[in-house]
């Protein structure tokens, strides 16, 4: 646990020192959502109907912007090889980096989402469910993204390959996230869809770090 906290603190310090990734992610999220009222028109009913899908698709794409650099810096400066030689398991490294990635990307997206939902005229009944879906879904996106980032580590055009790998795996999170918000707005029970999102997170928690660690070992050989 102490080693895990050290990795999280180290990555957070690096992220705060650079600051570009978090700003880039939130700026992309805000600007892309702001463009939709211009493209779809000012009709309130249309914006309200599409608000959940717009927010979730944009958040999904924004979370991918910094994935390709999740392990790349440590790989290029040799830190990853040194960490692989220590008694600390690579799975711990992956979990630490996923936590740091979520704190610097997923959490800001979750904070910005309700403000943008007001811009899209989302019904008030959907705000609480929006936050719950973001809380359950964005960590899953980070876990799946870490697995993809490890698989393309060292490959040419890794960013393009990473998108092709993770986007199909993001689809269930998108479907259940948008479905839960739409159900809440329509006054229908959203508990089943929220449970599905929680199930995806529980499944990704053990599987994604294990798969990412295996891919990192392969990249270091």
- CA dist., res. 220 & res. 69, Å (int): 16
Which pLDDT score is estimated for 158? 64
Q: Which two tokens stand for residue 47?
A: 């914006």
Which pLDDT score is estimated for 123? 87
Which pLDDT score is estimated for 18? 67
Which pLDDT score is estimated for 45? 85
| Number of neighbours of residue 213 by Cβ within 10 angstroms | 21
Which pLDDT score is estimated for 131? 93
Which pLDDT score is estimated for 141? 93
CA distances from 200 to 108, 138, 165 (A): 21, 11, 17
Site of tokens 């359950």: 136
- CA dist., res. 104 & res. 22, Å (int): 6
Which pLDDT score is estimated for 97? 87
Q: Which two tokens stand for residue 196?
A: 């599905």
Which pLDDT score is estimated for 29? 92
Q: Is 118 exposed, middle or buried (0-12, 13-18, 19+ CB in 10 A)?
A: exposed
Which pLDDT score is estimated for 144? 93
List the pLDDT tens digit at each of the 221 positions of the chain: 677 788 788 877 877 776 667 788 889 999 999 998 888 887 888 888 889 999 999 999 998 888 877 777 777 777 777 777 777 778 888 888 899 889 888 899 999 999 999 988 888 888 999 999 999 999 999 999 989 888 888 667 666 788 888 899 999 999 999 999 999 998 888 899 999 999 999 999 999 999 988 888 887 77
Contact 185, 125 (CB under 8 A): yes
- CA dist., res. 5 & res. 27, Å (int): 28
pTM of the model: 0.89
- CA dist., res. 210 & res. 221, Å (int): 17
Which pLDDT score is estimated for 20? 67
């Amino acid at each position: 646990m102490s080693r895990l906290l050290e990795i999280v603190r180290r990555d957070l310090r690096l992220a705060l020192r650079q600051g570009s990734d978090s700003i880039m992610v939130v700026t992309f999220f805000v600007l892309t959502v702001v463009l939709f009222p211009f493209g779809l028109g000012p009709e309130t009913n249309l914006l309200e109907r599409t608000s959940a899908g717009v927010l979730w698709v944009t958040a999904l794409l924004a979370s991918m912007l910094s994935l390709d650099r999740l392990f790349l810096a440590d790989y290029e400066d040799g830190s990853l090889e040194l960490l692989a030689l220590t008694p600390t398991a690579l799975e711990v490294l992956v979990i630490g980096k996923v936590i740091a990635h979520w704190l610097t990307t997923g959490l800001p997206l979750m904070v910005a989402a309700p403000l943008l939902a007001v811009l899209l005229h989302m019904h008030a009944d959907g705000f609480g469910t929006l936050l719950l879906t973001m809380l359950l879904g964005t960590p899953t996106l980070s876990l799946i993204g870490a697995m993809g980032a490890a698989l393309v580590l060292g490959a040419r055009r890794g960013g393009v390959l990473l998108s092709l790998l993770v986007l199909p795996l993001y689809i269930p999170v998108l479907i259940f996230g948008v479905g839960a918000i739409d159900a809440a707005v329509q006054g229908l029970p959203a508990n089943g869809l929220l449970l599905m999102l929680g199930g995806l997170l529980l499944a990704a928690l053990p599987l994604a770090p294990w798969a990412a660690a295996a891919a990192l070992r392969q990249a270091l050989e």
